[in-house]
Structure formats: C-alpha cells, structure tokens
Structure 1
Amino acid sequence: MESLKKLLLVALIATSAIHLVQAQNQDGFISVDCGLSPNEVSPYIEPFTGLQFTTDSNFIETGKLGRIQASLEPKYRKSQTTLRYFPDGIRNCYNLTVTQGTNYLIRARAIYGNYDGLNIYPKFDLYIGPNFWVTIDLGKYVNGTWEEIIYIPKSNMLDVCLVKTGPSTPLISSLVLRPLANATYITQSGWLKTYVRVYLSDSNDVIRYPDDVYDRIWGSYFEPEWKKISTTLGVNSSSGFLPPLKALMTAASPANASAPLAIPGVLDFPSDKLYLFLHFSEIQVLKANETREFEIFWNKKLVYNAYSPVYLQTKTIRNPSPVTCERGECILEMIKTERSTLPPLLNAVEVFTVVEFPQPETDASDVVAIKNIKAIYGLTRVTWQGDPCVPQQFLWNGLNCNSMETSTPPRITSLDLSSSGLTGSISVVIQNLTHLEKLDLSNNNLTGEVPDFLANMKFLVFINLSKNNLNGSIPKALRDRENKGLKLIVDKNVDNCSSGSCTQKKKFPLLIVALTVSLILVSTVVIDMTNNFQRALGEGGFGVVYHGYLNGSEQVAVKLLSQSSVQGYKEFKAEVELLLRVHHINLVSLVGYCDDRNHLALVYEYMSNGDLKHHLSGRNNGFVLSWSTRLQIAVDAALGLEYLHIGCRPSMVHRDVKSTNILLGEQFTAKMADFGLSRSFQIGDENHISTVVAGTPGYLDPEYYRTSRLAEKSDIYSFGIVLLEMITSQHAIDRTRVKHHITDWVVSLISRGDITRIIDPNLQGNYNSRSVWRALELAMSCANPTSEKRPNMSQVVIDLKECLATENSTRSEKDMSSHSSDLDRSMNFYTDMVPRAR
C-alpha cells in the first residue's frame, strides 16, 4: 500500500498541464492559498480545477510569506507555488469558521520548493485543535506531499496547527476543507486519515474536482495480471459516498478467471488500524447464463459474503470495525463463489488509518470568551493561538486551566494580563470565563469604574486591579464578597467606602426634577433648555426629540412625551430605570429626566449625526456611508446589544432594535437608543413570557410574534434586519417590491444568482466582496425564522469584526474578480434561509 501512495503522489505531480474547467457548485468549500501575497488578486479561480481559492491572511496572525523557486513553478498549480512559513514560535495555528457537526475532509499540502535557498527539507507536526494529526517529512517527499483527514468539528471554529519539532521551519502551501455527506465515512471511534485512494485502471489520469463533487483525489492503479473492464454508459451513484463517474466506468478483474482479485500492501506503522471503503458497480452486460458473485477477505478473514454487483448501480462496502495487519503485511482478496461463472471485479478503493484524538478541546464558552478578550484589547501574543489550555505544553501565556483529564473539557481558571498595555474599561466579556478563580489586570491603563459583574463571578478568590486609572467606588456586592474572603487589590484613588452610601460618578451631571416640582417650573426648565423648542431632531413613538443645551454649553437631546403617544409613563419609567443602571460606550447615556407624571421629558447625550436610517435613505445631500463605516457602525451597535444581553444583571432585551434607534456621533460612532420597550430576563432562562408583543413591523421576530415568548434571540433577529438594511439600503418592508419583506427580497435575488443587485449601488463597487458576503451570510443567519438557529450577540460581534478586518486590510486593492467569483458561488442558502459556511 505504500507503493500505491507513492504512485498517487507521482501521478499528481505529473499532471501539471493547465486546462480550463467550468466551476461547479462549491457550497461549503474552504480553499485557502497559504502565503498568497496581498498584491495578488483574492479570491481567484484556479484554472486547472475551477476551484476558488482565497488568501490565508484572514485565518492566521503569524508567519511569513514565501514562494517556491521560479524554475519549479511550471511544475505546480498556482495554489501550490506560494507558501507560509513559521520561523517564530512553536505552535502556529489557522483558525477557520466551520459548521459544527459537519463531516469535513481536511487536506493540507506542503511543498518546500527551496523557497529559502537553504535546500533543507523541513519536518514538523500537524495538529487538529489540541490533538496530533500527522508528521510532515518533506525529506521523504521532496516534491511535496499532502495529508488528509475526515473530521467532524465539535464547535463552529476549527484550529489547524503547525508545530515545530526540530531545527527546521514548518511551512504550508494550501489548506482546504470539503463538507461530506454526514452519513458517510463513519467509524466506531477515532477519525479517518487518508492512506490511499485509487480507481482501478491503466489510465494515468488523476481524478478530482469537478469530476469528484467532494474534491477527493483519486490516482489510478493496475496490476499486469489483471484485465480491464470499462463502459461508456453512466453509472447511477445514489449513495452519499458519490464516487466519481470516471472511477466507476472502469474496473479490474483477474485475467485468470479462476484466480482471486488480490491487492497486497505493507503499512508504514504495523499497529495501525484500518478502514476500507470498496466501491463496486457491475459495468459488464452479463449473459443469461452468467453470474458474478464473490466473497471479500481481509488477511484471510471474511469481510463480506456472496456479493453480486448490480449493473450500473453503485454500492460501497466497508469493514464494520477496524482491522489490523500482522507485522504490517496486508492483503485484500475477492474470491469468486462456486456458483459464480465470472471472476470478481472492483472499481475503486479507499483505505484509511484510524487516528485517535483523546484530548478534549477547552470548553467552547471559555474559548469564545478568551478570544473576545484578545480581540477587545488587541492582544497579539504569539502563544495565543490554537486551543488555550491544551496540550499543556502549548498553554497560552498568562492562563492556567483546571484538570486536564481526557474525559472533561478544560476550563480557564486564571487570567493574568498584568503589564499588557490594556486600555479602555474592564470588559464585561471577562465574566464569561465562568470558572475563573484568579484575575490580574494590574499595571495597565484601564479606565472607568470597577464593574459590578466581578461580584457575580462565584469562583473568583483573587482580583488585582492596582496600578491602573480606575475611579468611582467599589460596588457594594464586591465589597461583600471581600468580607467573605475574596482578595481584592485596588489603587488608593478608588473609593474604598465600606457601606452602601457611595454614589457612582456619572459621565454627565444628572438633572432630576422631582415629582413635587410645579408644572410651571418643569415647563420653564425644558423650554429654556431647548430654546423654546426651536430645533426638532426627530420624532418617534414616545414623542418629539429636540436639540438643547445643558448649562448653556453641553449639547443634549430632549425627548418630550406627546399627548398622543402610544407609549406612556410605564415606558418612560422603564427607560429611566434602565439607563440609570447601565453604562456602556455603545449605549446612549441619560443626562437627566423631568417627571411630573403629566409632563415627561428625557434628556440624552447629543448624537450629532442623527440616526442610521437617515444615512441609508439617500436623503443626506448625496453623502454615502462607506462600507467600512457601515461595518464599524454594525460592530458598535452589536457591542451595545451584547452588553445588554450579557453585561447587565438582570440581562436586558432591547425589543425595538431598528435603524432609527441606532444613533451616530461625530465620528459615526454608533450607540443604541430608545429603551422604553426593553425588558429584563434572567441568564439561563430560555425565554420570558410577555403578555403584549411589542416592536416595529419588519423588525419583529416572527417567533416572538407567534408565541409571545421573548428572549435575547428576538433582538438578534431585529439586528439581522438592520444589517440587511446596511448592506442593501433597502427598507425592511417596502410594498412597492414584489417581495415586501427584505429577507424575502434578498433570498429571491440570491436564488437567481443575481448578486450585484443586492448590494447598495451607491457604494459603486468600493468594497471587498468577501467582507460583504460574510456580512450577508451573518445577516441571514441572524434573521433565521427559528431562534435556536440564530447566533448569539457575542458571535455576531466576532463575525462583524472579522468582516471589518477583511475590509480594512484590502481597502487599497481593487477586487478584480469580485463579480465573476461571487456569481459562481451564488450563495446557495438552505430553505430556512441559513447560509452554508464557506
């Protein structure tokens, strides 16, 4: 079998001639050209296969770009001429977005090509997450090699890591993932590492995509004592394995009709366990008195009894449990039965070795949390790649984790970010490390107040916040925890009062006119503040919003309750109570309020650029928000909602997320506004029963509308509609369209492959097509009619930041292939409107 593998590699290298093919559906394919220069077009269509490849810059933060020697380039395809190499660090990891639970074929290709002029062939290891996959030894395969594994990710993120094991430098040329039918290639345990995949023919052709819809690579294999059988007719392949038609149109049979059909082999590692997948189809028209029936043996042990292939029908037979070879010597035999008049045949065969992955990945919620912390604070540590906790020798610097028992996913128990140059406030995302025992944020430039959420982290026993620029008071709940044994270290300038009498400092002075103040005084204050209501900023369900000044200089927005308002004192009180207890840079701040029951006013910080809907309407004197600005606005708004969902205690559902409730500051910093309909819910609750459904038509979660069951995923749906507005500049509901609702309109265009009509034409092509498509996929995922299929807001933030990073990294480039490559892809959605992962 080792000889079969070498033959396949030689055949692959020999087929370097370029020819054009028509690209088929590549739904779910991930094709990464490692080391592709930013100066080259990405994505691009590889002429030999028709596969669409993209740069790896969005999937990895480390490494350097290389290119094989120019004299060798004609031997290889475009995706094989570049490479990324890793002189720094021990473990360097690609991080890919995948679909959890999907069966993927993962292929890594490495070609040295003397890119560095040293003529030293590297040797290194590949890992999937925390588990060893395979050793790459390019001294053994000097023309390059590839390794495959069939693996089902346990989350929506997948790490493929290169690990340095000696003096040489790891490298990779390409990395591809292909989704397979989930009912195929199933094992009792472990994962399948490809050993050999061949079709039995004397042809020299290598079969792969587009002839193989899964882009498996098939070499040819034939022995002199065999006879070739072939047909020109199509073979029906109804099983999920879908062997390529070209592989099924030929077969091998013993030239001696009495002899068995035998394939011997010798394993590299004698203790390996094997799975065989044998693909059969009768392609010879049998006469009335002819019969083909045979038994299948592995190392003289019966695997399958009395099998007769069906004419032009495919069947895949595999061993139900893994098999081994004594001393590594193997033989596969097909022997005809006594009643058979014809010898056995075989069309194609795949052989896999079993790879056990004993180490569980770090708990998924901890991984999301620590990666959010990394993104929020812009941490660029070379060790912060791959799984945070395991294997233990690659533990992220500054972390400690609990027991590494192989049966339990590790949890992060200690986070030390002292002297890390942190700025901004203490991020609420830290609370998502729910098993954290020690937190050290000392010696940084953190500002703001000591947050309440630290008191709710029940496992914390040590917190060091010293040598920062924090202010305000220590929350009473945290002080109570300190009295029960929590060790808390803070600077002296933080108010260390021990009672509940401390009051937190606010960004703005709070103007409160008490209930006892007379109507005349209330009216005078509001009239003076708004300069006799001279300038109206807008109008909503609550009433008119006016421009005003506080203390004659500070600009504010004053919202007055209209007598005809459908909202009333209940909504007024809800908004005041919420804004008094929540503080986030992406939530509009409450400056003050006036309350005499009959005349109500809310005073907010002033947002000079109005609301998002105005800027998307096309009525802004020809000014068009750029795509990168739209993405930044989306990130800001998502961060505000994320805070409401996971940063508040109890958590909040906004319940009226829409483009008019996203306000823009001077630099187009976005903040969520209008919290009159917001409602609390407890973390851990699946939903909250609401007696009256509230929200805005077009943005309203259909599941919430149907069941009256409110949850944070209702905000996710509404945010998805806003994101679609930002992409398209279309209204959420437009009766002049054939498809009134924006989701139906988008799906109708996608289903026809009409992509360019979806994007706001005012952008005039000034965007990175990849970032637009990723944002569109995210928007449709958020707007899924079924709440459980929507992402949470933390996942939305991560995806939007990736879109923004992609856009910003290529702002100066012209995406020359955006229209053609996007049309080829055509964004095939599931019927329930959830995009498949690319």
Structure 2
Amino acid sequence: MEQAAPRMMTPRSRLLLLFLAAAAASGGVLQVRAQPDNNGFISINCGLSGTANYVENSTKLSTSPDTIFLDDEDAGSTHNISAEYVLPTLGKRYYTVRSFPDGKRNCYTLRSLVAGLKYLVRALFKYGNYDGQHRLPIMFDLYVGVNFWTIVNITDADAPVILEAIVVVPDDFVQVCLVNTGSGTPFISGLDLRPLKSTLYPQANATQGLRLATRRNFGSDDTTVAVRYPDDPHDRLWFPLVDGRIWNEISTSKTVHNIENDLFEAPSKVMQTAITPRDTSQNIEFVWDPEPQPKDPTPMYMAILHFCEVELLPTNAVREMSVILNRVPWFQFGFSPQYLLTGAAYNVIPVRGFGRYHVSINATKNSTLPPLVNAVEVFSIISTANVGTESQDVSAILGIKETYRVKKNWMGDPCGPKTLAWDQLTCSYAVSSPPRITGLDMSFSGLKGNISSSFSNLKFIKSVDLTDNQLSGSIPPGLVKRIQDGSLDLRFGNNPNLCTDADSCPTQTMEGKRSKSKLAIFIVLPITLVVVIVSVAVLVFCLPRWKNKQGSTRNSVKPQNDQTPSSLQLLENHRFSYGELEAITNSIQTVLGRGGFGCVYHGIMNDGTQVAVKLRSESSNQGVKEFLAEAQILARIHHNSLVPMIGYCIDGEYMALVYEYMPQGNLEEHIGGNGGNRKYLTWRQRLRIAVKSAQGLEYLHTGCNPPLIHRDVKGTNILLNKDLEAKISDFGLSKAFDRKRDHVSTNILVGTPGYLDPEYQATMQLTTKSDVYSFGVVLLELVTGRPAIIRDPEPTTIIQWTRQHLEQGNIEGVVDTHMCGSYNINGIWKVVEIAFKCTAHTSAQGPTMTKVVAQLQECLELEDLTGADTKFVFETSSSHYPNPRYNAYDADGHSITMGQSSFSFDEMEHGNGRVATVDSGPIAR
C-alpha cells in the first residue's frame, strides 16, 4: 500500500515549561534503567512489552520501553497498530502505542537531568487503527508538567505526527503528560529528550521556549533521507525539501564548519547542500498564510535561515544577498555567505504578524551569482513562565502516594494547573511563589499501616482528614507538634487500630480540644484612625531632630567613640559641623524626600553648589549602624552611575550625609508622571536610565573591593540629574561579600515588598542575583508605567500581571500608554525578556548584571540606530571568522516567520531515517 506523505502536527497553543522540584525517586533497578545514555539522550518506545532496551539500527541509540517512566506503572494499556499500517520504511517505535482510557491526566517522568539545562523534547504519535475502531479524529492535550504544550489532533490513521519543543528545564526531571479532553482516548508512540548546549537557541530561556513548526534541509541529493544523529550530534530531524522544477541543487563533499560560538550549530551534512533558483535572474521565494491557534490567535514566531557558500568562487565572482519580507528588507545591507562556514539570519525578538507572508531571498545589485539557502527552521514562541508545586511538598506527597499505593487521579504536578490538581488536595496559589499543599482529604481511602511521616513534611498544610481508614500505630511527633501549636487540624476518627490510649498517645485527645479552641481573632482599626496615625507618624518622622523652636536639643542616638570608623576620620570628603549644615539648608526648610533613615533636605553651599542633606531622624528605623555603613561605603566607591557623597556630619548626637543634588528627583516619580516637568519619560530616556542604573549595580557587584550587594534596588533609589542621567543611591542596607562565596547568610530580611527576591526570602541567603531580581522589577516598571505591586482589580505583582498579558500576545496592553506609541516594539519585547530573565524563579537561571548591561546596551543601540519608524535592522555578532551572524528586528510587529501554515510539510520519523518524497510545501515561485 502506498504510503501517504508524512504530515507534521499543527501546534494548537503555546507550550509552558514545567517548573517542578525534585520528586521522590523511583526505587532500585527501575531508576537505574531510566538513566540517560552517554549522550544524555532518553529514547522511549511507548507500549513496548518487557523491560529490555534495544538499539536502533540507523542511529545506534538505545531505546527503552516506557513502563519505567510512567508515574503509575499500571497506567494505560499497550497495543500494536493494525498490520495494514506496518510498512517496511516505518520506524519500530510506531509499531506500538500506549493508550490511556482511564484517568484525566497520565504522565511520563524523565529523570536524571541537569537543572537549568536546555533540552529538546519530542513526542511521536501514529494511530494506525490500534484499537480496531477507526475512531478519528482524536484530540487531546499535551502538557509538560503544569504547562500546556499543544493540542494533539490526529485526523489520519497512517500519518505519524511529531511534536517538538526546546525548553529550559529548571530541575533535575521533567514530566510529559497526556490529558483527556473528551474528544478521544489519548495515546502516544514514542518520547525523546535531547540535551542542548546552553548557548544554543538563545531565544529559549527560563521564561520562553520554542515550539517547532518546521525544520528543512534544502538541496539534499536523497529526498528520502532525513538528517539526524549521528550526523547531527543533537539529534534534530532535518527533513529534505527539493523542487527540481524551480530550484537547482548545489553541494560540496567538504566538511562545513560552525563559526566560533555558533548559536545553532547546523550540522555539516545539512550545510553541504543548498538550492539556487533555476532561473538565475530570479529569487528564492516562499508564500504562506499564518494559521491562528484557538488559544493563540496571533502566535509569535522565530525563523532561522541557514547559509553557507558550498562552491569555491572565482575571484571575480560575488554572491551577495538580501532577505525581503512583504517588501520590507530584513537588513540595511546585503551579506555574503562564507565558504564552508555556517551563518544564519534570524530574528532575536519574537514577532507576530497578520495576513499572507511573502519571503524573498534576493541577489543584490553587486552580486554576480544567484542567491542560495541551505536550511530553515521555524519556531513559534511559547511561554515558560509558570511554576509547579513547591519541591518539598512534591516530595512529601509522593512519599504518601508511594506508602499507601494511592490509585486516585494522582498524576503529574500535585497542584498545577488548577484544573488538573490531584483529587482531594487543596492548594494555595500565590502570585510570587510556587503553589503549596494546604489541605488533604484521605478519608474513606482504605489506608493501612502507620501514619506516614511524610505528612509532617507538608509544611504549609493546615488540615488533614484521615477518618474511616485502617490506620494503626501512633501519630508522628511532627504532626503532634503541629496540633499543639494550633497550625494543623488533624482528623483521624474511625481508625480502630490507631492508638488511642491517653498515656501512650496523648495526642488522641487533642482533636476534641482543638475543635473547641479554634478561634480566629481579628483586630480591626477604623480607617479614619489609621489615617490619623499614619499622618501623625509622617509629621513626627520628618520633623528635624536638630533643635526645637526654643532651641533645645531633642533626644537622639549618639555614636560611641569606637563606632566611628577610622575610614571616616580619613575621608577626603568634607566633614561638616551641625552649624554648617543648618546654614546650608537655611535652617532645614525644603524637604526633598523621606526614607528609612530620615528626611532629605535641599541645601546650597557657599560656592553655589546645590546639595541634598540626609538627616537622621530619632524615629528612624535605620540607626547608627546603617549610617556608618553607608558613610563607609560612599567613602570608597566612585562611579558615574552612583550618587557621590560630598560630605558627612557626626557632631555629637547629630548625623547626616551630604550628597550631590539630583534636581530631577527619583525614577518612581517620573514613571508616574510626577517629575519636575510633569512630563512622562520617552522610551529612549527609559532605556538610557535602565543602562546607567545597570552599570551602577554592575560596578557594585564587580568593581568594588570587597564587592557589594545593594539590597534595596527600586525606583525611589534611582535618582536623576538635570540631564535625566540615572544614579543609584541609598546604600544603608548594602552588604559586602566575599567573591569566593556564592552567598551571604543574613538573619534579618530587608528590602521593599514587590522588589524582594523570593529565593532570598525563602533561604535568607543573599546574592548579587537578589539585586538582579529587583532590577528586573524596575525594568518592568519602565516598560509598563505600573508599580511593583498592582492593586487593581486585585493585588498582583507586576511580574505576574505582565506575564498574563503577554501570554495573550497583548504587548500593546503592557506598554505604558503615556509613551504614545513612540518606541520600537522589538526593543520593548527585548527589555521585557531581560526583565523576565532577571526575575527567574531561581537565581541560577538569572543573568549577571554584566550580561544585563550588555543586553540593555544592545537595546539602546537598536533604538538609537533605527528610531521608532525603521522597519528592520541589520546586526552582526562578533566572531573571529569573517562570516557575520544576522539578526532581524521588526519594528511594528510584523512576523519574520516561516510558519506552520507556510510550510505545510509533513514530518515523520521512519526506520533508517527515511521518509517518503515530500509533495507538499510552500507556494514556490
């Protein structure tokens, strides 16, 4: 029977990355068998009977049966496809399937990964009438952990479907889950996982991944062979595309080398072949229509065009090309592919568009040869911002599941997504932290044996119902303690064998006592009283603590002699007396602002220099220690992005710091339109402020000796001079650290809500990434014009608010409307991407300030180069090779893509890597 052309699955929505912590390991021999091979590869044949691995003929890769990877080894049922669909070219993994007629969600767990590494995940499907029912179409959802990947839509019994994504995995395992949506029984044929270098596909990061639309190898001399491992060390599948009617194939037998620091590492076997137009006066052209998805009506795309000169050209021959999308050039200048060296044209910032797309690869006027192209990859952008249940809770609940052999709907992540949370679990969902398990009802569940100690490891749980089981023994001490301190309501009635003796099991009487003593006490202050108290506090706080109107001194903390550091005594900065400061500030008249230390006053020195004088208030919550710390720091740091100290005062009981006056106030005021000129900042001004601020933090982290962590990065601590140049201020909470250590342990949590790094909050271990996180929040404020904590319509963080809007593709709904559209939309996307990297859930995923500075400078250069009206920009990355790397930016949201609908190629895996001749594709001219 003739085989139909292979067809690639149409993606139906965005892929969200699994953010799960380490789960309880599978025991003994099963975990050993589940290890990746020497390449780090995991290859699974779903539905294969037995436990023995086998080696694929073409790739020599070891392939495992799927039982050992299932969350429940008894889940699903195995089947062979019908004999009529077994063809000689069909890969062995398509012979069998595992279907899941029972349960809402069924999952595979792939373990022994490297946290923070980038992986290619591939799922394979072929219906082949395995159930003998000819029931088509079949539709179900595919998840990676808590996050939606795509809708699997099977409409042809013979056509295999391949789904592939590139994602960053934050933990040491990842789950792939099939979810029954009522439109057919979920099934799967195979599952692959391949590690990638962290430098590859930079568009895939902690907050976004790439979902493959197509990957094509142009000019292959064998239209039935797909290039993969070992020719591609990363085992990507490069399917051939040839059309002899309009294209000539050119090739070389010589090895093609990747340029240094290549971002894609296209394999030599692929880059050895290329196509050129048969009519040398013509261009290479593609036409396609974007295909909206139900959950993503305007998907964002990234396209990568791979180029390499495969012919050694005569000295007088020139091959120079340009890329045109919908009559708009990608670059300002033409480019020439280099002989036997890879190069790529690609868009760094994901873009979207509407209507038909026409891509043309043209020869420039300087060229004597026609254009060429070697390969293409097209990805849609998928959000990877969601996180799974907190790791400690995952480990604990998996321990409970294993102890009691729970057969409920306990697959995948316990709490996420909300619609698929485990039966009988109650979870809390905070906007800035992972979900936590808060309640567990296991009544009437047939539980036998002792109460598992794993219950005690559910630190956030508030209620546990174990009534009507066959539990025995006594209550674990950890639960007893929770009952006694009132943090846990434990119910355990109707367990006949559970110890109830008052002497040996005193906790048995606690249930009744607790039920009578549960009382929530709420103290409510009338709003008017609160307002009065706050108003009085502000007035008292900001009253000068120097002299009252009668001239008498007020009480204040006086530093001891040994508290005055020698560095202050040796300062070159001017030391002021109290009388001098009183004269400078005109008897302390004009308040510039107020903070934790005290109020800041405007002053003018004898030479006319304007200064800001920060006076310590006696009611300040920052005392002598913080004052001395800031003075010491300011005495030794010097950078044009830090507010310099002009002098200081320690005069008896009076303390003050004197700074350079910053006439434009702080950044927070300007974001809200409350700056001195009452005007809102432009996008270019915001970018420059971001760069200068980042440079200041970079200096603290890398240029100081010892280096410093600021600990309170926020808009009010970024001051602006008359030219709106940003400078970091307020170093009273800064902390020095040893470069040899990766963190500083602290006893007290300091900082400002909305800007605090959750990892610092959880561990009390301070790192430079804590400043990076806070700065990421500031970047989002610059983009959106909104505060760190948004309270309308309900409280949420700016991070969560921005992600929710961007998941719907609503970039215009994110950008501050006061910029009136005067910005390069791609620059906006890039800054948001940087912000999301900075605010990654774990610090290991976040960039250093050095990287942040470099990326923001690129954004500023792009803005300065293009202006808001320029369509595309040509950029190169530095390399020791003459071949540049090309990045295409689109200023107004038009997609630089070769989307799924444009490449209606049918992709499938076959034995020996062979596929049928492709007879479909873009409209070629």
TM-score bucket (shorter structure):
0.5 to 0.7
Alpha-carbon separation, structure 2, partners of 1:399 and 1:272: 34
Alpha-carbon separation, structure 1, partners of 2:198 and 2:77: 36
Per-residue CA shift, 1:441-471, capped at 9, x if unaligned? 2222222222221245478331112223233
TM-score, length-scaled by structure 1: 0.52
Secondary structure of 1:430's partner?
helix
The counterpart of 2:427, out of the listed 401, 410, 431, is 401
1:28 aligns with 2:40: yes
1:193 aligns with 2:176: no
1:183 — aligned with what? Answer: 199
The counterpart of 1:247, out of the listed 270, 276, 282, is 270
The counterpart of 1:74, out of the listed 77, 82, 87, is 87
2:337 — aligned with what? Answer: 309
Quickly say closer, same or farther: Cα 1:482–1:241, change in 2 above 3 A.
farther
1:772 — aligned with what? Answer: none
Quickly say closer, same or farther: Cα 1:486–1:160, change in 2 above 3 A.
farther
Secondary structure of 1:104's partner?
strand
Query: Contact conserved, 2:256 with 2:340, CA < 8 A, in 1?
Result: yes
Alpha-carbon separation, structure 1, partners of 2:517 and 2:328: 66
Alpha-carbon separation, structure 2, partners of 1:294 and 1:439: 68
Per-residue CA shift, 1:395-452, capped at 9, x if unaligned? 21110101365x5421110011222222332222222211101111222222222222
1:48 — aligned with what? Answer: 58
Query: Contact conserved, 1:440 with 1:463, CA < 8 A, in 2?
Result: yes
Query: Contact conserved, 2:124 with 2:163, CA < 8 A, in 1?
Result: yes
1:435 aligns with 2:492: no
1:259 aligns with 2:282: yes
How far residue 393 of structure 1 moved from its aligned partner, in angstroms, is 2.1
Query: Contact conserved, 1:282 with 1:313, CA < 8 A, in 2?
Result: yes
Alpha-carbon separation, structure 1, partners of 2:504 and 2:308: 75
Alpha-carbon separation, structure 1, partners of 2:745 and 2:64: 39
Alpha-carbon separation, structure 2, partners of 1:355 and 1:99: 21
1:718 — aligned with what? Answer: none
Alpha-carbon separation, structure 2, partners of 1:198 and 1:243: 11
- Correspondences of 1:607-646 after superposition (within 5 Å): none
1:230 aligns with 2:251: yes
Alpha-carbon separation, structure 1, partners of 2:199 and 2:328: 26
The counterpart of 1:112, out of the listed 127, 132, 140, is 127
Alpha-carbon separation, structure 2, partners of 1:64 and 1:413: 34
Alpha-carbon separation, structure 2, partners of 1:129 and 1:292: 47
1:322 — aligned with what? Answer: 350
Alpha-carbon separation, structure 2, partners of 1:385 and 1:225: 52
How far residue 240 of structure 1 moved from its aligned partner, in angstroms, is 5.3
The counterpart of 2:77, out of the listed 64, 77, 84, is 64
How far residue 44 of structure 1 moved from its aligned partner, in angstroms, is 0.4
2:550 — aligned with what? Answer: none
* 5+ long unaligned stretches in structure 2: 10-35, 519-742, 747-843, 845-925
Alpha-carbon separation, structure 2, partners of 1:82 and 1:352: 29
1:547 — aligned with what? Answer: none
Alpha-carbon separation, structure 2, partners of 1:129 and 1:118: 31
Q: Which amino acid aligns with 1:139?
A: T
Secondary structure of 1:309's partner?
coil
Per-residue CA shift, 1:243-286, capped at 9, x if unaligned? 22221111112234443322222232262211112222111111
Quickly say closer, same or farther: Cα 1:95–1:330, change in 2 above 3 A.
same
Secondary structure of 2:317's partner?
coil
Q: Which amino acid aligns with 2:337?
A: P
1:813 — aligned with what? Answer: none
TM-score, length-scaled by structure 2: 0.48
Query: Contact conserved, 2:209 with 2:382, CA < 8 A, in 1?
Result: yes
Quickly say closer, same or farther: Cα 1:8–1:298, change in 2 above 3 A.
farther
How far residue 483 of structure 1 moved from its aligned partner, in angstroms, is 7.0
How far residue 37 of structure 1 moved from its aligned partner, in angstroms, is 1.2
How far residue 165 of structure 1 moved from its aligned partner, in angstroms, is 1.9
- Correspondences of 1:533-682 after superposition (within 5 Å): none
Alpha-carbon separation, structure 1, partners of 2:481 and 2:40: 41
Q: Which amino acid aligns with 2:105?
A: R
Query: Contact conserved, 2:275 with 2:374, CA < 8 A, in 1?
Result: yes
The number of residues matched between the two structures is 471
Q: Which amino acid aligns with 2:47?
A: G
How far residue 362 of structure 1 moved from its aligned partner, in angstroms, is 1.6
How far residue 332 of structure 1 moved from its aligned partner, in angstroms, is 2.6
How far residue 296 of structure 1 moved from its aligned partner, in angstroms, is 2.5
2:838 — aligned with what? Answer: none
How far residue 241 of structure 1 moved from its aligned partner, in angstroms, is 2.6
How far residue 226 of structure 1 moved from its aligned partner, in angstroms, is 2.3
Quickly say closer, same or farther: Cα 1:459–1:300, change in 2 above 3 A.
farther
Alpha-carbon separation, structure 2, partners of 1:301 and 1:361: 42
Alpha-carbon separation, structure 2, partners of 1:236 and 1:290: 22
How far residue 367 of structure 1 moved from its aligned partner, in angstroms, is 1.4
Per-residue CA shift, 1:519-560, capped at 9, x if unaligned? xxxxxxxxxxxxxxxxxxxxxxxxxxxxxxxxxxxxxxxxxx
Alpha-carbon separation, structure 1, partners of 2:217 and 2:241: 6
The counterpart of 2:234, out of the listed 193, 196, 214, is 214
The counterpart of 2:394, out of the listed 367, 377, 387, is 367
2:415 — aligned with what? Answer: 389
The counterpart of 2:379, out of the listed 344, 352, 357, is 352
Query: Contact conserved, 2:302 with 2:347, CA < 8 A, in 1?
Result: yes
Q: Which amino acid aligns with 1:232?
A: S
Q: After the TM superposition, which segments of 4 or more aligned residues of structure 1 sit over 4 Å from their partners?
A: 5-10, 455-459, 472-488, 684-687
Query: Contact conserved, 2:489 with 2:514, CA < 8 A, in 1?
Result: no
Quickly say closer, same or farther: Cα 1:686–1:375, change in 2 above 3 A.
farther
Query: Contact conserved, 1:8 with 1:220, CA < 8 A, in 2?
Result: no
1:291 aligns with 2:318: yes
Alpha-carbon separation, structure 2, partners of 1:219 and 1:397: 43
Per-residue CA shift, 1:722-759, capped at 9, x if unaligned? xxxxxxxxxxxxxxxxxxxxxxxxxxxxxxxxxxxxxx
Alpha-carbon separation, structure 2, partners of 1:174 and 1:108: 6
1:277 aligns with 2:304: yes
- Correspondences of 1:92-103 after superposition (within 5 Å): 92-97=106-111, 98-103=113-118
Per-residue CA shift, 1:175-221, capped at 9, x if unaligned? 11111111112227522111000011153122122222111111111
Alpha-carbon separation, structure 1, partners of 2:325 and 2:5: 22
Q: Which amino acid aligns with 1:388?
A: P
Quickly say closer, same or farther: Cα 1:480–1:466, change in 2 above 3 A.
closer
2:581 — aligned with what? Answer: none
- Correspondences of 1:105-184 after superposition (within 5 Å): 105-121=120-136, 122-140=138-156, 142-184=158-200
Secondary structure of 2:87's partner?
helix
Alpha-carbon separation, structure 1, partners of 2:744 and 2:318: 65
Per-residue CA shift, 1:776-815, capped at 9, x if unaligned? xxxxxxxxxxxx9xxxxxxxxxxxxxxxxxxxxxxxxxxx
Alpha-carbon separation, structure 1, partners of 2:491 and 2:188: 42
How far residue 150 of structure 1 moved from its aligned partner, in angstroms, is 1.0
Query: Contact conserved, 2:127 with 2:157, CA < 8 A, in 1?
Result: no
Secondary structure of 2:464's partner?
strand
Secondary structure of 1:307's partner?
coil
The counterpart of 2:437, out of the listed 412, 417, 436, is 412
Secondary structure of 2:106's partner?
strand
Query: Contact conserved, 2:303 with 2:376, CA < 8 A, in 1?
Result: yes
2:607 — aligned with what? Answer: none
Query: Contact conserved, 2:200 with 2:265, CA < 8 A, in 1?
Result: no
Secondary structure of 1:326's partner?
coil
Alpha-carbon separation, structure 2, partners of 1:241 and 1:200: 17
Q: Which amino acid aligns with 2:151?
A: T
Per-residue CA shift, 1:33-84, capped at 9, x if unaligned? 100112xx62001223322111111111210010001232234221110100
Query: Contact conserved, 1:201 with 1:222, CA < 8 A, in 2?
Result: yes
2:668 — aligned with what? Answer: none
